[in-house]
A and B are shown apart, each in its own frame.
Chain A
C-alpha cells in the first residue's frame, strides 16, 4: 500500500512544475553544501596529513650560546623522544645536475640523511647501507625547479627502473669572503650514484629531494663556504627531530631547561589563516543550510495553504489526519531526497574534475583529495530531519482543521 502511495506521490511531485523549480534550487544548494563539506574535510585533513608525514612539523631549531656544536648534539641526542640531532645548516643543499633529461632543468636538493629519518626504500638499497657518494632519490624523480610550485608533468618524470645504479654529476659554486661581501670563487663538480628510491609522498617531500650521507652533506656545505664553517663567532644552530608531534612540547621544555635559546618548530601552519578560513567555511555552511530551510519552509507553507481544499477532499474520502500528515511529509521528503540525488550526481563529476585538474599537484606531495560521503550524509540527514520536523509541525496544524473548514477555505 505504501509503495503505491509513494509512487503516486512521486508522479504528482514531478508533474508539478513548481516542484521541479524547487528541486532545481535545492539541488544547487545541496551541491554547494557538498562542496563546502568536502572543502572543510580536505582542508583539515591536509593539515593533519602534513603534520603526520612531514618531518618539518616535528623538528625544532635552536642553539646553546655556551656550548660548541658537537657537545650540543651529543647532549640533545640523549633527551627522551629525540630521533635525530644535526647541524641545522646541513639540512638541505640545492644543486644543479646533469640529469637534464626530458627537458627538465636538473635542479635538485640534497637532504641530510640518517637511518633514523630517511624512509625505507621501495627500490634498491635502504639508507643504512649507503656510503659516501651514493644517494636515494624519490620514486617519481623530477629534477626540475618547477617542483617548488608543485608543478609536475608526470610524463617527464624519470622512471626509477632506468636510473638505479646511474651516476650523475652535480655542480655548485664555492664562495669566499673578501671582508665585506661573499664572492664566487670556483665551480665544484661532484659525482653521485643513485642506489635506491623512496616514496616521497610518504614523507611529503618534493619530487627532487634526494638523501645523502651526513658525511657528504658536511663536505658539500664546507666546500660551498669554507669561511663560514670556520668562523668561531658564528654560533651554530642545531636541528632536533622529535619522534612524534605529541612529544614536541616536552622536548621544547627540556631544551629550555638545558639552556637552549629561541627554540622554534621549523614548520607550523599560519593558525590565523586556518582560523579565518574555518570561520568563513562554517559561515558559508550556515548560510547554505539556513537558505535551504527558508526556501523549503516558505515553499511548503504556500503549497499546503493552496492545497487545503484538496486535503479536505482527502479527509472526506476517508483519509485520516495521520494519512494526510504522512502523505504531505512524504511528498516533501521525496523532493528533498530527489534534490540530494541530483546534487550528488552533479557533485561526483565535479569533484573528480576538481580533483584531477585543480588539485592534481597535491598528489605529488602525497596528499590525496578525499571525498567523504559519510559527512555529507550526516549533514544531509540532519537537513532532512529538520525539514521533516518543520514540515510535520506545519502540516499537523492544518490536518487538525475540520473537514468543513478545509473545504470552505478560500484562496
Chain B
C-alpha cells in the first residue's frame, strides 16, 4: 500500500468578488499517493488552478482539512509554508518563467540557494544531473532566449526537481507546446512517477491518457476519479 502524501478532507474554497460569493470548491475529499501520476481534467473555470494552489500551499482553503505527510496544515506562517514548498513540493506552470539572465544550469540552481541541505559544491553537479534527466544537459550554459519553448519547459521541470521534492504539481505544463514536445514532457512526468514521486498534472490534453495512472475530473466543485476512457 502506497503512502498518502497529501490528504484532503472536505476542502472548500469560496471567492468573494464584489457582493457575490463564488463557491469554486465545494468539498474535495481525496488522497494523493507516491509513485502515481494523477491527471486532473475539468472545463475552464471549474477550479483546477484553485485546487492546485491549495494543494501547493500557495493559497489556503476556506474550510476543510489538508494533511501533508499526515501533518495537518491549517494556518501556516509564510516561513513554514515556504519551507514546505521548498522541501516537498515542485511546481511546473504553463509559462516557463526562467530568469532571462541566468543560464539553464543557473536557473536550476535558484531553488537550491535557499536549501541548507544542499552543500554549495554539489549544486552545479546536481543541476547538471537534473538537466541530464530532462535530456538537455548539453545546453546547460544556454540562456532561456537561446532555447525553444519545449527546452525551456524542460529546464523549468529540472528547476522544479531541484530540491528533490516528492510531490510535483503541474498546471497545464504543455499548454504552450506542440504535440511532439508534449509527449516528451509527459514522458518525463511518467518517469518521475516511476521513480516514486507523486505527480499531479492539470491538462486539457487527451495525450495524457497514455501516461497517467489515475484520472480525476473536477466538476461542480467536486473531484471524482473517472475511468481512463472518459
Contacts and interface: CB of A to CB of B under 8 A. Distances in A.
Interface of A: 1, 4-5, 8, 11-12, 15-16, 309-310, 312-321, 323, 402-404, 407
B216 interface: no
Given A1-B113, A310-B97, A317 B120 contact: no
Given A317-B91, A403-B59, A404-B58, A12 B85 contact: no
A404 B59 contact: yes
Contacts of B120: 1, 4
A314 B110 contact: yes
Given A11-B106, A309-B97, A407-B95, 14 more contacts: A1-B114, A8-B102, A8-B106, A11-B101, A317-B110, A318-B84, A318-B87, A319-B82, A319-B114, A320-B78, A320-B82, A323-B114, A402-B59, A407-B97
B163 interface: yes
A11 B85 contact: no
Nearest to A14: B101
6 contacts: A8-B106, A15-B101, A315-B58, A316-B58, A317-B86, A317-B91
B213 to A, nearest CB: 25
Of A15, A312, A320, chain B has the most CB atoms within 10 Å of the CB of: A320
Nearest to A316: B91
B101 A316 contact: no
A5 B113 contact: yes
B114 A403 contact: no
B58 A403 contact: yes
Contacts of B163: 317-318
Contact of B102 (A11, A312, A319): A11
A142 B58 CA distance: 82
Contact of B111 (A310, A317, A407): A317
B97 A318 contact: no
Contacts of B82: 315, 318-321, 323
A46 to B, nearest CB: 48
Interface of B: 49, 53, 56, 58-59, 78-79, 82-87, 91, 93, 95, 97, 99, 101-102, 106, 109-111, 113-116, 120, 159, 162-163
Contacts of B87: 318
Q: Which 3 A-B pairs have the closest CB atoms?
A: A318-B86, A317-B111, A15-B101
A320 B87 CA distance: 13
B201 to A, nearest CB: 16
B78 A321 contact: yes
A310 B99 CA distance: 7
A19 to B, nearest CB: 9
B85 A318 contact: yes
Nearest to A408: B49
Contacts of A315: 58, 82, 85
A51 to B, nearest CB: 55
Of B83, B97, B163, chain A has the most CB atoms within 10 Å of the CB of: B97
Contact of B159 (A5, A15, A317, A323): A317
Of B85, B113, B163, chain A has the most CB atoms within 10 Å of the CB of: B113
Nearest to A321: B78
Contact of B85 (A8, A309, A317): A317
B113 A404 contact: no
Of A12, A318, A321, A402, chain B has the most CB atoms within 10 Å of the CB of: A318
Contacts of B101: 11-12, 15-16
Of A313, A320, A323, chain B has the most CB atoms within 10 Å of the CB of: A313
B199 to A, nearest CB: 16
Of B78, B79, B109, B116, chain A has the most CB atoms within 10 Å of the CB of: B78
B102 A12 contact: yes
Contacts of A407: 93, 95, 97
A159 B115 CA distance: 72
Of B84, B85, B106, B115, chain A has the most CB atoms within 10 Å of the CB of: B85
A4 B113 contact: yes
A402 B15 CA distance: 14
Given A316-B91, A317-B86, A318-B83, A402 B114 contact: no
Contacts of B162: 317
A244 B78 CA distance: 67
Contact of B114 (A310, A318, A404): A318
A402 B162 CA distance: 23
A316 B86 CA distance: 8
Nearest to A317: B111
Contacts of A323: 82, 114
A403 B106 contact: no
Of A1, A316, A407, chain B has the most CB atoms within 10 Å of the CB of: A316
Contacts of A319: 82, 86, 114
A5 B87 CA distance: 19
Contacts of A309: 95, 97
Given A310-B99, A313-B97, A320 B79 contact: yes
A11 B58 CA distance: 29
B111 to A, nearest CB: 4
A394 to B, nearest CB: 19
Contacts of A5: 113
A408 to B, nearest CB: 9
A1 B116 contact: yes
Contacts of B115: 318
A110 B99 CA distance: 76
B53 A403 contact: yes
A100 to B, nearest CB: 70
B48 to A, nearest CB: 13
A217 B204 CA distance: 109
A407 B101 CA distance: 19
A225 to B, nearest CB: 82
